[in-house]
Amino acid sequence: EYVIGFVEAKGTFSFGTSGPKSVKTPTFQLRVGVEDESLLIAIRDSMGLKSRIYRYQDKRSKGGGYCLLIVREIGSLKNTVIPLFLNGLVGERAANIRQRLEKIGEDPEVPERYKILFRLYKRDYYKKPKN
């Protein structure tokens, strides 16, 4: 529940661009100030993610910079991020992840291998089983 609350406040589901053709890659990101890097590491580790945490210096920001966890690996998105947050988030973040999943299915610039995320979503793969 703590992680879900943290994602409500600081998480983003979006698309990153990379490579020479600038393809759109679905990503999940968490951003914190450098002073909270250990918290970000703990969240990443508790979720079982192997994703790298990037550290950026920003002299304009309080604390001197920020840390960013970026999850773009399809297995981590499919098996950890989406199942955990799709049914756990509420409000704007819940709508955001659903919109992003729809966009994955519609956007021709998203690599075909990521389309599985959309297909699983549409087939209710991520729905919590009712007790």
pLDDT in tens, 62-98: 667 999 999 999 999 999 999 888 888 887 888 888 9
pTM reported for the whole predicted model: 0.85
Round the average pLDDT of the chain to a whole number and report it.
Answer: 88
- The residue that leads in pLDDT, 91 or 124, is 124
Q: Considering Cα of 56, then 64, then 45, then 118, what sign does the dihedral take?
A: negative
Which of 105-109, 119-123, 126-130 is predicted least confidently?
126-130
Assign 128 a pLDDT band (cuts: 50, 70, 90): confident
- The residue that leads in pLDDT, 90 or 37, is 37
Largest CA distance in the chain: 51
Q: Considering Cα of 17, then 127, then 106, then 97, what sign does the dihedral take?
A: negative
Q: Sheet of 11-18: strands edge to edge?
A: 11-18, 23-33, 65-71, 53-57
How does DSSP classify residue 36?
G
Is residue 34 within 8 A of residue 54, CB to CB? The reply is no
| Per-residue pLDDT, 108 | 92
Assign 57 a pLDDT band (cuts: 50, 70, 90): confident
